[in-house]
Chain A
Amino acid sequence: MTATLATITYVYAVTTSEPDSGQGHTPPSGGIDGASVRALPVGPLTAVVSSLPRDHFSEAALKDSLNDLGRLEAVARGHHTVVSDMAAHRPVLPLRLATIYDDDERVRQMVRGRAREFLSALDRFAGRAEWGVKVFTDDTPAPADEGDRAAPAPSRPTTPGGGGAGRAYLRRRIQRREARERAWERASDLSTQLVDRLDQLAEARRRHRAQDNQLSGARGGNVLNAAFLVSEENTRAFAAEVERWSRAEPGVRVELTGPWVPYSFVPDCLDERTAHGSASTVDR
């Protein structure tokens, strides 16, 4: 009976409808792959959606395309741009990347079925934003290290008691490793204290997996990668606190990112699944 449409409905986010204006709000332009973004009103809520070609967004096609870094980035940035543009005007509940329905009617059914949960989550996010805080060891090698790295390891073992280049090389290697360990310890200590302090200003915290610096391109090791849910009133104090700690310890770098739409805090309050398989852990 029902013909399969050539498009699917991609849902970026759910937000509140504007009760006072008949025309609703203007959705942002430029969704994934430049698709137009539509507002789909469902009672007190609005789903923010795009129609995208079914053959590019089938499960199999997505598995392939999301394995391609360029495509993954295009989808991720398209998703994020729509979500963050919406969030400039109203609280937004972002959906997981690549949440796809057969058509608009299926989206309406979903939103109607979960309206209460969505409204209470939106209420929780009103006037709050997510901030990311990362702590790194800053192990920019000292000039001596650079020269050392260029020097090859001794090709033959040195004789016992002979000292010489081989022993000096090993000593330097050990010193470097110890210096790295000390830097990591200092950064860990600072992270513990920083998190304690920031917890007092934030409403919730979530820890993300440490970032591989080969992915992030960051110098040094990532000791802390956390997200905090912060109210507007506390934002300045929060940022000032992070800045204060960023100068507290030489060799430890503290970075602040944000404000983010509270992506990291959605799963706590609204998730069909249990925490099973989550890449992150909720701290409190």
Chain B
Amino acid sequence: MATELVPGDEDGDLPLADRDVSLVDLLDRLLAGGVVLTGDLTLAIADVDLVHISLRALITSVRPDVPSPWER
């Protein structure tokens, strides 16, 4: 959900910890943003595969009529 158009920062403190952020806006950022490092266990996970897999999961969960592509 969009926040108010003009931020209410009376004391210059912006509401960074906004719990109302929409999952889609959050995933736009978390799946494509952030420092990509080669962790010990994340070689494939931090990859773009995750984006596809997750978005397919999202689509199938939102649209139950669409069969899950990885359950065939």
Across the interface, do A67 and B54 meet the contact criterion of CB distance under 8 Å? yes
Across the interface, do A256 and B35 meet the contact criterion of CB distance under 8 Å? no
Residues of chain A lying within 8 A (CB to CB) of residue B26: 76-77, 80
Determine the residue in chain B with the shortest Cβ distance to A82: B17
Across the interface, do B37 and A67 meet the contact criterion of CB distance under 8 Å? no
Residues of chain B lying within 8 A (CB to CB) of residue A235: 7, 9, 14
Determine the residue in chain B with the shortest Cβ distance to A8: B41
User: Do A67 and B57 contact each other (CB < 8 Å), given the known contacts A57-B41, A59-B41, A211-B24?
Assistant: yes
Residues of chain B lying within 8 A (CB to CB) of residue A81: 17, 19
Residues of chain A lying within 8 A (CB to CB) of residue B61: 69
Across the interface, do B22 and A216 meet the contact criterion of CB distance under 8 Å? yes
User: Do A98 and B24 contact each other (CB < 8 Å), given the known contacts A67-B57, A256-B3, A267-B32?
Assistant: no
Q: Is A35 located at the chain interface by the 8 A CB criterion?
A: no
Give the total number of A-B pairs whose CB atoms are below 8 A apart.
195
Q: How large is the interface on A (under 10, 10 to 19, 20 to 34, 35 or more residues)?
A: 35 or more
Across the interface, do B48 and A278 meet the contact criterion of CB distance under 8 Å? yes
Q: Is A151 located at the chain interface by the 8 A CB criterion?
A: no
Across the interface, do B45 and A87 meet the contact criterion of CB distance under 8 Å? no
Across the interface, do A264 and B33 meet the contact criterion of CB distance under 8 Å? yes
Residues of chain B lying within 8 A (CB to CB) of residue A79: 30
Give CA–CA (A66, B36) in the complex, Å. 17
- Identify which of A102, A214, A277 contacts B63 (C-beta below 8 A): A214
- Chain B interface residue count, CB cutoff 8 Å, equals 54
User: Do A99 and B48 contact each other (CB < 8 Å), given the known contacts A264-B29, A272-B36?
Assistant: no
Across the interface, do B5 and A246 meet the contact criterion of CB distance under 8 Å? yes
Q: Is A225 located at the chain interface by the 8 A CB criterion?
A: yes
Q: Is A68 located at the chain interface by the 8 A CB criterion?
A: yes
Q: Is B10 located at the chain interface by the 8 A CB criterion?
A: no
Of A37-45, A137-145, A236-244, the stretch lying at the interface with chain B is A236-244
Across the interface, do B42 and A98 meet the contact criterion of CB distance under 8 Å? yes
Name B1-31 residues within 8 Å CB distance of A.
2-3, 5-7, 9, 12-19, 21-31
Q: Mark B47-63, 1 if CB is under 8 A from A, else 0.
A: 11011011101110111
Determine the residue in chain A with the shortest Cβ distance to B28: A208
Determine the residue in chain B with the shortest Cβ distance to A253: B2
Across the interface, do A239 and B2 meet the contact criterion of CB distance under 8 Å? no
Across the interface, do A63 and B53 meet the contact criterion of CB distance under 8 Å? yes
- Identify which of A85, A132, A273 contacts B25 (C-beta below 8 A): A132
Across the interface, do A215 and B58 meet the contact criterion of CB distance under 8 Å? yes
Q: Is A194 located at the chain interface by the 8 A CB criterion?
A: no
Across the interface, do A94 and B35 meet the contact criterion of CB distance under 8 Å? yes
Give CA–CA (A96, B47) in the complex, Å. 10
Residues of chain B lying within 8 A (CB to CB) of residue A262: 33
User: Do A110 and B37 contact each other (CB < 8 Å), given the known contacts A69-B57, A76-B23?
Assistant: yes
15 A-B pairs whose Cβ atoms sit less than 8 Å apart in the complex:
A14-B35, A67-B53, A67-B54, A76-B30, A96-B30, A98-B39, A212-B59, A236-B7, A239-B5, A256-B5, A257-B3, A258-B7, A261-B16, A264-B33, A271-B36
